[in-house]
Amino acid sequence: MIWTNILGWVQQAVPFAAFLALAALGELLTEKAGSLNLGTPGTMCVGASAGFITVYSYCNAVEEPSVVLILLISLGSSFLAATLLGLLYSFFTVSLRINQNVVGLVLTIFGCGLAEFLSYYFVKSESGNVRCEAAFRVFTAKIPFLSEKLGWFSELFFRYGFMLYVTIAAVILLSLFFYHTRAGLHLRAVGENPGTADAAGISVTKYRYLASSLGAGLVGMAGLFCVMEFKSGAWSTADVYTLEAFGWLAVALVIFALWKPLNLLWGSLIFGFCYWAYVYLPQLLGVTVSTDLMRMLPYVITILVLILVNLRRHKGDQGPAALGLSYFREER
Partner 1 sequence: MKQGPSRRTPLFHIAKRDRMRPAAAWGVRVGAFVLALLLNALFVWCVVRVDPLTFYRTMLRGAFGSSSYLWATFKATAKLLCIAVALAPAFKMRFWNIGAEGQVLIGGMAAAFVMYHYTSLPTPVLFLLMIVCSLLAGGIWGLIPAFFKAKLNTNETLFTLMMNYIATQIVLYFYNEWRGIRSALGMLNSSTKVGWFSSLWGGTSDGSLLQNEDFWFIVIVAVLTVLMYFYLRSTKHGYEIAVVGESGNTARYAGIHVNKVLLRTMILSGAICGFCGFLTVSSQSHTISSEMAGGYGFTAIIVAWLSKFNTFTMAGVALLIVALEKGAALMSNTYGTLGFSAPAADVMVGVMLLVVIGSEFFIQYRVMRSHAGKEAETV
Q: Which residues bind partner 1 (CB under 8 A)?
A: 36, 38, 88, 92, 96-99, 101-103, 105-114, 116-117, 120-121, 126, 201-202, 237, 240, 245, 248-249, 251-252, 255, 290-293, 295-296, 299-300, 302-303, 306-307, 310-311, 319, 323-324, 328, 330-331
Nearer to partner 1, 50 or 70 (CB): 50
User: Residue 116 or residue 229: which is nearer to partner 1 going by CB?
Assistant: 116
Q: In whole angstroms, how close is the CB of 103 to partner 1 at the nearest point?
A: 7
Q: How far is the CB of 3 from partner 1 (least distance, A)?
A: 31
Spatial separation of the C-alpha atoms in residues 58 and 43, rounded to whole Å? 22
One-character DSSP codes across 2-45: HHHHHHHHHHHHHHHHHHHHHHHHHHHHHHHTT---TTHHHHHH
Using the minimum distance from each CB to partner 1, give the nearer residue, 103 or 222.
103
Nearer to partner 1, 72 or 303 (CB): 303
Q: How far is the CB of 76 from partner 1 (least distance, A)?
A: 23
Other C-beta atoms within 10 Å of 22: how many? 29
Rounded least distance, CB 254 to partner 1, Å:
9
Query: What sign for the dihedral angle of Cα 200, 84, 114, 30?
Result: negative
- Nearer residue to partner 1 within complex by CB, 105 or 234: 105
Render 98-120 in DSSP notation, one character per residue. Answer: --HHHHHHHHHHHHHHHHHHHII
Looking at residue 141, the DSSP 8-state letter turns out to be P
Taking the least distance from each CB to partner 1, the nearer of 119 and 167 is: 119
Q: Judge whether 220 and 50 are in contact, CB under 8 Å.
A: yes
Q: Where are the alpha helices (DSSP H) in the chain?
A: 2-32, 40-61, 67-90, 100-118, 133-140, 152-157, 162-180, 182-192, 194-199, 204-229, 239-256, 261-285, 291-294, 297-312
Name the minimum Å distance from CB 1 to partner 1: 28
Q: How far is the CB of 22 from partner 1 (least distance, A)?
A: 20
| Per-residue buried b or exposed e for 313-331, using 16+ beta carbons within 10 Å of the residue's own CB | eeeeeebbebbbbbbeeee
For helices 100-118 and 67-90, the axis angle rounded to 10 degrees is: 140
Minimum gap (Å) between residue 117 Cβ and partner 1? 4
H or E stretch covering 234: strand 234-235
Question: Which residue's CB is nearer to partner 1, number 139 or number 244?
Answer: 244
Helix (H, G, I), strand (E, B) or coil at 130: strand
Least distance in Å: CB of 115 to partner 1? 8
Q: Crossing angle of helices 297-312/261-285, nearest 10°? A: 130
Considering the complex, state which of residue 143 and residue 309 has its C-beta at the smaller distance from partner 1. Answer: 309
For 324: left if phi > 0, alpha if psi spans -120 to 50, otherwise beta; the answer is: left
